[in-house]
Amino acid sequence: MKRIGIMTSGGDSPGMNACIRAVVRAGVHYKLEVFGIRNGYQGMIDDEIHLLESKDVANIIQYGGTILKTARCSDFMEKAGRKKAFENLKKHGIEGLIVIGGNGTYTGAMHLNREHGIPILGCPGTIDNDLSGTDYTIGFHTSINTAVDAIDKIRDTADSHHRVFFVEVMGRHSGHIALHAGIAGGAEGIFLPERDNEFETIIEKYVKRTRQKEFSIYIVAEGETEGNAYEIAERFKALHPDADCRVTVLGHVQRGGSPTSEDRILASRLGTHAVKGITEGFSNHAVGIVNQEVEFTPFEKAIFDKKDINNKLWEMNAILGK
Ligand code: F6P
What does the alpha-carbon distance between residue 21 and residue 198 come to, in Å, rounded to a whole number? Answer: 42
Identity (one letter) of the amino acid at 280?
E
Q: Which of 9, 105, 127, 220 to mutate to test the pocket of ligand 1 (most atoms within 8 A of CB)?
A: 127
Ligand 1 center–CA 172 separation, angstroms: 6
- Residue 198: its pLDDT value, please? 87
Output the residue whose Cα is nearest ligand 1's atom 13.
11
Query: In this structure, what CATH number is given to the domain that contains residue 195?
Result: 3.40.50.460
Of 132, 98, 104, the C-alpha closest to 24 is 98
Structural domain contains residue 311: no
Burial of 208 (0-12, 13-18, 19+ CB in 10 A): exposed
Structural domain contains residue 320: no
Q: Annotated catalytic sites, by residue?
A: 128
- Residue 129: its pLDDT value, please? 98
Within 6 Å (CB) of ligand 1, which residues are found?
A: 11, 102, 126-128, 170-172, 222, 255
Regarding whether 101 and 230 lie in a shared domain, the answer is: no
Structural domain contains residue 316: no
* Under 8 Å between Cβ of 286 and 152: no
Query: In this structure, what CATH number is given to the domain that contains residue 100?
Result: 3.40.50.450
Regarding whether 284 and 243 lie in a shared domain, the answer is: no
Structural domain contains residue 129: yes
What does the alpha-carbon distance between residue 209 and residue 216 come to, in Å, rounded to a whole number? Answer: 10
Regarding whether 45 and 88 lie in a shared domain, the answer is: yes
Find the domain containing 248 and state its range: 141-256
Regarding whether 169 and 58 lie in a shared domain, the answer is: no
Output the residue whose Cα is nearest ligand 1's atom 15.
11
- Give the bridge partners for 4, in sequence order: 34, 96
Nearest ligand 1 atom to the CA of 130 is: 1
Instruction: Give SS3 for 286.
Output: strand
Regarding whether 184 and 196 lie in a shared domain, the answer is: yes
Regarding whether 113 and 47 lie in a shared domain, the answer is: yes
What does the alpha-carbon distance between residue 104 and residue 25 come to, in Å, rounded to a whole number? Answer: 26
Regarding whether 217 and 78 lie in a shared domain, the answer is: no
What does the alpha-carbon distance between residue 214 and residue 163 come to, in Å, rounded to a whole number? Answer: 7
| Residue 228 DSSP symbol | -
CA distances from 136 to 25, 148, 202, 265, 283 (A): 23, 17, 28, 12, 21
Given 256, 283, 316, the domain boundary residue is 256
Structural domain contains residue 221: yes
The total of structural domains in the chain comes to 2
Q: Which of 177, 255, 303, 307 to mutate to test the pocket of ligand 1 (most atoms within 8 A of CB)?
A: 255
Regarding whether 289 and 152 lie in a shared domain, the answer is: no
- Residue 319: its pLDDT value, please? 92
Regarding whether 111 and 43 lie in a shared domain, the answer is: yes
Output the residue whose Cα is nearest ligand 1's atom 10.
11
Ligand 1 center–CA 170 separation, angstroms: 7
Regarding whether 280 and 263 lie in a shared domain, the answer is: yes
Given 200, 228, 256, the domain boundary residue is 256
Structural domain contains residue 321: no
Local mean pLDDT, 10-residue blocks, the chain (322 residues): 97 98 98 98 98 98 98 94 98 98 97 98 98 98 98 97 96 97 96 92 80 82 97 95 95 98 98 98 98 97 95 94 80
Structural domain contains residue 313: no
Regarding whether 46 and 81 lie in a shared domain, the answer is: yes
Structural domain contains residue 273: yes
Regarding whether 26 and 107 lie in a shared domain, the answer is: yes
* Under 8 Å between Cβ of 251 and 131: no
Ligand 1 center–CA 93 separation, angstroms: 33
Given 256, 271, 290, the domain boundary residue is 256
Q: Which of 172, 174, 249, 303 to mutate to test the pocket of ligand 1 (most atoms within 8 A of CB)?
A: 172
Output the residue whose Cα is nearest ligand 1's atom 8.
172
